[in-house]
Structure 1
Amino acid sequence: MALAQTQGLGDPDWELYKKRFMKPDGRIVDTGNHDVSHSEGQGYGLFFASTFNDRTAFDKILEWTRNNLKHRDGNLHSWRWSPNAPHVPDTNNASDGDLMIAWALRRGALLWRVEAYLDQAKAIIRDLGEKCVRKIGSRLVLLPGMKGFDRPKAAIVNLSYYLMPALGRAASLDPSGPWKTVMDHGQQLLLASRFGLWGLPPDWLAIDRKSERIYPAASFAPRFSYDAIRIPLYFKWGKVMPASLKQSLYAVSQNYSMTALPGWIDLMTGERSAYNAPPGFRAVYLLALNGADALPDLPGLAESDDYYSASLTLLARIASMELV
């Protein structure tokens, strides 16, 4: 918690983030996706507020999240809210959003000494373990949501939902839960999930239920893209990123240059996007390659016009400070 206590209110990046992406009622807006909101984005907002000691923003974001996304019959959250009615057409959760919310609640509880926040974090983690962790063959996996991913022939996994620092905190919140095993098996999955010329993990992964064969999920484009970019962020932050992934990212950055990174790479054909990745991708590459030493070279938040790139940039900045 040293970072939260030393930064205090008025951090310029956080103030800019709020100005651009936070509504007065506490809703975090995905400006690149028709101004919808996600449990992931609410989790980011709570995490940033708890990092930069902004309890006013934290409580607003938490209240909106509870009122609009929290399940009535449990402690998880619907993954998406739309400005158009019906606001929540799909009540399925997103494991990464719930993990981030719980992580932020724990940080807020420690910083502001609010026991209720800690109780809420524990309740989320317990529900997540019961509803979203499954045994697939010899592996214990974190499913992306409680519905739709545990399929008859294969389970669908998204390794960018493995927020390694948050999973470590989940293990402390729920000591008898599955979290240490989930982390260990997540590292094994990443080592086995490297495809194409660059040896990169896909956004979406399938695990065959019988053979345990691992392959890019057929129902999604086989790309290292907007989901998978968070894998090096979270695994580096959790100090469990394999050296081979660092080597792959270095090769990509050398081939395309750090200022012309691809928005996506097709892992089957090697094709890259016609457009360059936003600055938030560069922030993740720099963090993955340089750790704490990346801090002076990270792009400023002002370079990112959209919510997702800005979120990646601010997350990479916090991670680099916490890796010191």
Structure 2
Amino acid sequence: MNPSSNRSSRLRRFLPRCALLVAMLLAACGGSRSDAHESAEAWKDWNRFAEHYIQADGRLIDWTFEEKSTSEGQSYALFFSLVANDRARFDQVLRWTSENLAGNALGDKLPAWHWGRKDDGSWGVKDGNSAADGDLWTAYSLLEAARLWSAPEYEAIGRKLLAQVAAQEVVMGVVGGAVLLPAPYGFRIGEQRFKFDPCYVPPFQFRYFGTVDPKGPWLSILDGYMTRSAKIFHAGVAPDLITLDAGGGVEADPDRPTASYDAIRVYLWAGMSERDGPGQLQLLRPFAELIRKNGVPPEKVDTRTGQAVPQDWTPSGFMAASLPFLRALGEDDLRKQVQSRMERERSRAWAMNKANYYDEVLVLFGLGWIEKRFRFDREGRLQPAWAKQPAAG
């Protein structure tokens, strides 16, 4: 036998044993870094997203729109870092968010929603108004990181953020239940009318906030939203924005007669909300018929008629966002059809360097859900695939 061939044979037998030994040693040490690495390695979509959109310092860049960063993007990066059990990246994202969007005082201050290149060529905050969805996804991710990683230092910041949102972005005293404003400024119409964005209220998230902060306005906001849902979704589709009044009235928003990039998340959240989603799913079932008719979710829908606005293109993220919705409705054949189309469109977009941040966020949510990488229990707690599940409570 050739000596070099014999050495190669021995080496091939040795390497698997060596790898097994290393794995056993790491497991015995209980290294969270190893767990995070293995978890992240298994989620290729997250790996690619993080590599393409998140800098080493924790800044998530939306390359599609002037390389801007937003509090929404940072909050989603926190959430998916937690789902991937990637604490090192979580801390990087959290640090950048606090330093650059909240003057290094996140929790004591709400983060600015928009950071980017300013008119003078410098980089920094372009709009200091906050965005309630980014604020609440950040708070949710911090509170759940504290629980899942046994890291109470995150909880203090998360609770401070909840208090800031309650003080600055919630309208109390509205008939039917409190209202979450999209931001502290710009969404009040006089003293008695307000603009409301349904996608800013994921039912599972507000169920969770009501559990961890029972004295807060969260269940009142959720109850009001659920009570008003029949009027909000009167045409069987979700709007981007509606107008509410203090007496409980619901009106279409005159500036947004069509629904699109905000509304698509309403279907996503309904499909993920085990406890509160079923009622909304039935109200929104006509949207599934639009998907069946078009083959994919329409990019734009007329909220007055419930009909799709003719378009020759649908974002791949919309297809991904519809997957939990269709699964929850029992439309699995249609879901598989949409998923197959989505996977083809994504592959083409990445190959042509045309993938964009928002589409890929919706993919992480929608496809991640279908792949069972995470769930939310009846109290809205996160159940990542890597974690031991909490006892029912």
TM-score bracket relative to the smaller structure: 0.7 to 0.9
* Structure-2-length-normalised TM-score: 0.73
Deviation of the 1:140 alpha carbon: 0.9
Does 2:239 match 1:205?
no
Q: Partner of 1:117 in structure 2?
A: 154
Deviation of the 1:31 alpha carbon: 2.5
Q: Partner of 1:175 in structure 2?
A: 214
Deviation of the 1:308 alpha carbon: 0.3
Identity %: 26
Please say if residues 299 and 315 of structure 2, whose CA atoms lie closer than 8 Å, have aligned partners that are also in contact. yes
- Larger RCO: 1 or 2 (CA < 8 Å, sep 6+): 1
Does 2:239 match 1:223?
no
Structure 1 counterpart SS, 2:268: helix
Does 2:53 match 1:53?
no
C-alpha RMSD over aligned residues: 2.6
Does 2:329 match 1:289?
no
Change (3 A) 1:245 1:307: farther
Does 2:316 match 1:316?
no
- Mapping 1:1-324, distance limit 5 Å: 8-10=39-41, 11-70=43-102, 72=105, 74-84=108-118, 85=122, 87-135=124-172, 136-152=174-190, 153-196=192-235, 199-210=236-247, 212-218=248-254, 220-239=255-274, 240-241=276-277, 242-258=280-296, 261-268=297-304, 270=307, 272-291=309-328, 298=339, 299-300=342-343, 302=347, 305-320=355-370, 321=372, 322=375
Please say if residues 176 and 224 of structure 2, whose CA atoms lie closer than 8 Å, have aligned partners that are also in contact. no
Q: How many residues of Structure 1 are paired with residues of Structure 2 in the alignment? A: 315
Change (3 A) 1:310 1:138: same
Q: Distance in 1 between matches of 2:134 and 2:163?
A: 15
Change (3 A) 1:164 1:303: farther
Structure 2 counterpart SS, 1:89: strand
Amino acid across the alignment from 2:39: G
Change (3 A) 1:303 1:144: farther
Structure 1 counterpart SS, 2:194: strand
Q: Distance in 2 between matches of 1:6 and 1:24?
A: 16
Deviation of the 1:244 alpha carbon: 2.6
Change (3 A) 1:124 1:34: same
Deviation string 1:15-61 (CA, Å, 9 cap, x unpaired) is 01111211121111122322211111001100000111111111111
Deviation of the 1:110 alpha carbon: 2.1
Q: Distance in 2 between matches of 1:7 and 1:109?
A: 21
Change (3 A) 1:257 1:206: same
Structure 2 counterpart SS, 1:88: strand
Deviation of the 1:251 alpha carbon: 1.0
* Structure-1-length-normalised TM-score: 0.88
Give unpaired runs (5+ residues) of structure 1. none
Q: Distance in 2 between matches of 1:234 and 1:83?
A: 32
Deviation string 1:46-87 (CA, Å, 9 cap, x unpaired) is 000011111111111111100111265933211111133462
Which moves more between the two structures, 65-74 or 232-241? 65-74
Q: Distance in 2 between matches of 1:15 and 1:6?
A: 10
Q: Distance in 2 between matches of 1:287 and 1:272?
A: 23
Q: Distance in 2 between matches of 1:55 and 1:292?
A: 34
Change (3 A) 1:169 1:83: farther
Q: Distance in 2 between matches of 1:277 and 1:189?
A: 29
Deviation of the 1:186 alpha carbon: 1.3
Q: Distance in 1 between matches of 2:202 and 2:112?
A: 18
Structure 2 counterpart SS, 1:139: coil
Please say if residues 59 and 93 of structure 2, whose CA atoms lie closer than 8 Å, have aligned partners that are also in contact. yes
Structure 2 counterpart SS, 1:82: strand
Instruction: Answer with 1 or 2: which has the greater Rg.
Output: 2
Amino acid across the alignment from 2:361: S
